[in-house]
């Protein structure tokens, strides 16, 4: 483009076009590299979840093998072998990934992530795994390890007909044969998938292989469990749970609650021992239709107390005792209320301040709160405070206890005005900006570090250029006179935007602090 009999000016223009195209290509490359990095992160997250799920499946198989050894012991043993093989192979893949990072000379970011945009070359892997059209010794070892993983998994499954479909799917997922591209001769598995690719792409592909390993595990474990089998389990798998009618009780109050089995199995207990004492189960109402036993005893002292015992059921003609333990908290009868502002220790004038008001141990419908500007909100104990005049506001609370007696409390809050907002242009209150940014920029007033969402709209401001008179502007942008003054300012001059007035949808707002900007050009 820059050759021939073109003028010097045209050659320069053509050269600039080349540079611009190169910059676009570089940008696209970074986007693609980042995409590979994002894909790798998603695979890593999925692998962690799948691995945790596989752990639960293994535990389920082990439990079934204990309960029904004839049906599940062989399957549980196979699952244990599959786990060992999979862990070993996944760990080997991790060493390959670590070698890509270390061998390529890449350093992790401060947050532990890979430097995606730097991993654009594949020279290290190409030289270590390949020599011409063949594999190096390292490449041969990698393929041998891949093949061994496949043979080990298939060796565990054996020749059983019931595993035929699983083996077929496994072979498709880990097809290590040569691959015929659209053009050219067939390529080996490693050549087709890793040769000539950026480091981050190879890294992400290895993570995808780890994902295939964990997915294979999950498929096989589910096959071993047998999705068509009865999902019912024995009572050994249930947990006895203490469920009090409420979480805290007054001293001397009757504890009311129930002991239930997890999953609410419809099984009637034959014995119940609570805190060392036998509970009569023959009385009316002692056991409900789901087998839940009702508890009714005098609570302990103030503080945390334990309730424990034995829930006994019949299974296969024999008694099956299930231990249970739980805690309940006894609180003293209340004499003070809990009053708190949800967002701060003070309330602000002119805005709605959300508050939570409650009395410990007293239902919300038996608590009454009053105060200037205080109204009921939506939800348990929720109120809204909109203070107006004065510097303080007092909230009075009265609660009615279960025995009909009343207790009261009060608390005083300071009332503060809305703070002065910070003036900004193009989101900047001070510093350097290009002249053009100031000319077309939007002036704003922001309530920084303010806990309420209170949008402000700038209505007017003044603009000052050194050596020129101030210009009054309406709205939130420079008018023609201000722009004219701006164009006369020298490079490095400091311009001021002050007396910034704004309005909100509620309270009156003070003028914002000035924005001081140095022109960078």
Each residue's pLDDT tens digit, 301-333:
766 678 888 888 776 557 888 887 877 776 666
Q: Is residue 380's pLDDT more than 60?
A: yes
* Cα distances (Å, whole numbers) of residue 343 to 91, 333, 423, 453, 518: 48, 28, 25, 12, 37
Query: Quick one: 21 and 126 in the same domain?
Result: yes
Three-state secondary structure string covering 46-76: HHHHHHHHHHHHHHHHHHHHHHCHHHHHHHH
Tokens of 128: 């270590």
With a CB cutoff of 8 Å and minimum separation 6, the contacts of 267 are: 235, 261, 291, 313
pTM > 0.85: yes or no: no
Query: Quick one: 327 and 457 in the same domain?
Result: no
Q: Is residue 352's pLDDT more than 80?
A: yes
Query: Quick one: 95 and 198 in the same domain?
Result: yes
Q: Would 232 be classed as within a structural domain?
A: no
Q: Mark which of 363, 392, 416 sits at the end of a domain.
A: 416
Query: Quick one: 219 and 274 in the same domain?
Result: no
Exposure string (b/e) for 415-432, b if CB count within 10 Å is 16 or more?
Answer: beebeebbbbbeebbeee
| Mean pLDDT, range 226-237, rounded to an integer | 43
Query: Quick one: 473 and 488 in the same domain?
Result: yes
Q: Is residue 110's pLDDT more than 50?
A: yes
Q: Would 3 be classed as within a structural domain?
A: no
Q: Mark which of 352, 384, 416 sits at the end of a domain.
A: 416
Q: Which structural domain, as residue segments, surrounds residue 479?
A: 422-519
pLDDT of residue 277: 80
Q: Would 254 be classed as within a structural domain?
A: yes
Domain count, the chain: 4
Q: Is residue 227's pLDDT more than 50?
A: no
Q: Would 386 be classed as within a structural domain?
A: yes
| Mean pLDDT, range 280-298, rounded to an integer | 72
Tokens of 464: 């000052």
The CATH number assigned to the domain holding 260 equals 2.60.40.10
* Count of other CB atoms within 10 angstroms of residue 305: 16
> What's the chain's average pLDDT?
82
* Higher local confidence (pLDDT), 3 or 118: 118
Query: Quick one: 144 and 49 in the same domain?
Result: yes
Q: Would 459 be classed as within a structural domain?
A: yes
Q: Is residue 369's pLDDT more than 90?
A: yes
The proportion of the chain whose per-residue pLDDT surpasses 70, expressed as a percent, equals 82
Cα-to-chain-centroid distance, residue 273? 43
Q: Would 84 be classed as within a structural domain?
A: yes
Query: Quick one: 178 and 71 in the same domain?
Result: yes
């Amino acid at each position: 483009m820059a050759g021939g009999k073109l003028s010097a000016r045209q050659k320069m223009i053509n050269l600039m076009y080349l540079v611009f195209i190169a910059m676009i290509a570089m940008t696209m490359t970074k986007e693609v590299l980042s995409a590979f990095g994002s894909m790798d992160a998603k695979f890593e997250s999925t692998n962690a979840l799948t691995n945790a799920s596989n752990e639960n499946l293994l535990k389920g198989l082990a439990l079934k093998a204990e309960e029904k050894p004839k049906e599940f012991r062989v399957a549980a043993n196979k699952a244990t072998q599959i786990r060992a093989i999979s862990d070993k192979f996944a760990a080997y893949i991790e060493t390959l990934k670590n070698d890509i990072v270390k061998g390529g000379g890449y350093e992790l970011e401060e947050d532990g992530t890979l430097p995606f945009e730097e991993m654009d070359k594949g020279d290290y892997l190409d030289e270590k795994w390949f020599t011409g059209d063949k594999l190096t010794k390292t490449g041969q070892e990698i393929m041998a390890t891949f093949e061994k993983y496949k043979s080990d998994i298939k060796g565990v499954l054996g020749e059983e007909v019931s595993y035929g479909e699983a083996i077929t799917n496994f072979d498709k997922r880990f097809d290590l044969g040569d691959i015929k591209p659209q053009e050219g001769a067939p390529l080996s598995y490693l050549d087709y998938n890793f040769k000539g690719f950026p480091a981050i792409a190879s890294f992400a592909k290895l993570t995808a292989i780890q994902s295939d390993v964990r997915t294979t595990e999950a498929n096989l474990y589910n096959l071993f469990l047998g999705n068509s089998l009865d999902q019912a389990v024995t009572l050994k798998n249930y947990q006895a749970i203490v469920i009090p009618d409420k979480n805290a009780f007054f001293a001397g109050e009757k504890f009311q609650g129930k002991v239930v089995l997890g999953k609410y199995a419809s099984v009637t207990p034959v014995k119940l021992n609570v805190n060392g004492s036998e509970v009569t189960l023959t009385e009316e109402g002692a056991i409900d239709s789901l087998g839940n036993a009702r508890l009714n005893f005098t609570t302990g002292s103030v503080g945390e107390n334990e309730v424990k015992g034995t829930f006994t059921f019949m299974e296969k003609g024999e008694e099956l005792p299930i231990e249970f333990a739980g805690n309940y908290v006894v609180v003293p009868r209340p004499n003070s209320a809990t009053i708190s502002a949800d967002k701060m220790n003070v309330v602000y004038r002119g805005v709605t301040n959300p508050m939570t008001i409650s009395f410990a141990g007293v239902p919300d419908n038996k608590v009454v709160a009053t105060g200037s500007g205080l109204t009921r909100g939506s939800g348990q104990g929720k109120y809204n405070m909109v203070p107006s005049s004065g510097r303080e506001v007092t909230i009075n609370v009265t609660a009615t206890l279960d025995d009909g007696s009343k207790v009261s409390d009060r608390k005083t809050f300071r009332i503060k005005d809305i703070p002065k907002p910070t003036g900004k242009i193009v989101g900047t209150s001070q510093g350097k900006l290009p002249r053009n940014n100031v000319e077309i920029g939007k002036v704003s007033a922001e309530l920084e570090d303010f806990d309420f969402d209170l949008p402000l709209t700038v209505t007017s401001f003044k603009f000052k250029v050194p050596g020129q008179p101030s210009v009054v502007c309406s709205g939130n942008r420079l008018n023609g006179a201000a722009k004219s003054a701006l164009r006369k300012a020298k490079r490095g001059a400091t311009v001021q935007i002050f007396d910034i007035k704004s309005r909100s949808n509620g309270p009156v707002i003070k003028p914002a602090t000035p924005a001081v900007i140095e022109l960078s050009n």
